[in-house]
Amino acid sequence: MRVDEVPNEANGAAPPALRPLDAHAMPLWRKGQIIAGALRGVFHHLRGRPGRLPIIHRQVSIREHHGTVRLGHLAEIHDRVVLSAIGTETDQALVAIGNRTSVWYGTVITARRNVTIGSECAISWNCSILDDDMHDVLELQDYKLSSRGPQPVVIGDHVWIGAGAIVLKGVTIGRDAIVAAGAIVTRDVPAATLVAGAPACVIRRVAGWR
């Protein structure tokens, strides 16, 4: 499939419908979980983020030091997720997560500078998204430290990142893309494209996902 054959708003095709949220079919425990998460979200909201009410589940660790974690409206952050924005006095860090994006159990998202995730994304469990390696490689030639420093990560709207995937520094992922479970993304991913493997390679173009 060529890029211009992918159904999109530009070529007149309707974007894939979002999966509807069916509250009636939801088990009681899930309703309770969302209500408790919304209450934690109210606390987050009261800390000065007007206009947005995120749902924050249990044991979520939000670490801010010279940085900000910004959660979108109805963004759902599941148990044991770590969101870390740790910058410096001169370079503030930002983790920004869009509206209605869900981040599942045990995922770690860490910014020394900037990690931006769009709206309506599904970030599965045990993923890692980082804009910095955190350590420098000591190169063989003259023992020089090769440090690239933090490089922003940008994930577009409606991206699905499969279980255990890792997105490394400097990567941009286009909207409607799919990252397969366990992939390690070291290079940019075009919109509406499925990538897999370590390092991740393009498998095929897709129309989206739901």
Ligand X SMILES: CC(C)(COP(=O)(O)OP(=O)(O)OC[C@H]1O[C@@H](n2cnc3c(N)ncnc32)[C@H](O)[C@@H]1OP(=O)(O)O)[C@@H](O)C(=O)NCCC(=O)NCCS
Determine, following the binding rule CB under 6 A, whether residue 134 of this chain makes contact with ligand X. yes
Determine, following the binding rule CB under 6 A, whether residue 148 of this chain makes contact with ligand X. yes
Determine, following the binding rule CB under 6 A, whether residue 199 of this chain makes contact with ligand X. yes
Q: Which stretch binds ligand X (CB under 6 A): 42-50, 129-137, 174-182, 201-209?
A: 129-137
Instruction: Tell me if residue 74 falls in helix, strand or coil.
Output: coil
Q: Which stretch binds ligand X (CB under 6 A): 21-29, 51-59, 72-80, 127-135?
A: 127-135
Which of 166, 191 has the CB closer to ligand X?
166
Q: Are 62 and 41 in contact (CB under 8 A)?
A: no
Determine, following the binding rule CB under 6 A, whether residue 210 of this chain makes contact with ligand X. no
Instruction: Kindly tell me the sign of the dihedral angle through the C-alpha atoms of 164, 49, 95, 58.
Output: negative
Catalytic residue among 66, 78, 135, 158: 135
Listing DSSP states for 17-51 in one string gives PPPP--TTTS-HHHHHHHHHHHHHHHHHHHTT-TT
Task: Answer yes or no: 135 catalytic.
Answer: yes
Q: How far is 116 from 149, CA to CA, in rounded Å?
A: 17
Which of 36, 86 has the CB closer to ligand X?
86
Q: How far is 88 from 20, CA to CA, in rounded Å?
A: 41
Single out the residue of 79, 133, 157, 188 in contact with ligand X (rule: CB under 6 A).
Answer: 133
Q: Are 166 and 199 in contact (CB under 8 A)?
A: no
Determine, following the binding rule CB under 6 A, whether residue 138 of this chain makes contact with ligand X. no
List contacts with ligand X (CB under 6 A): 130, 133-135, 137, 148, 168, 184, 186, 198-199
**Which residue numbers are catalytic?**
135
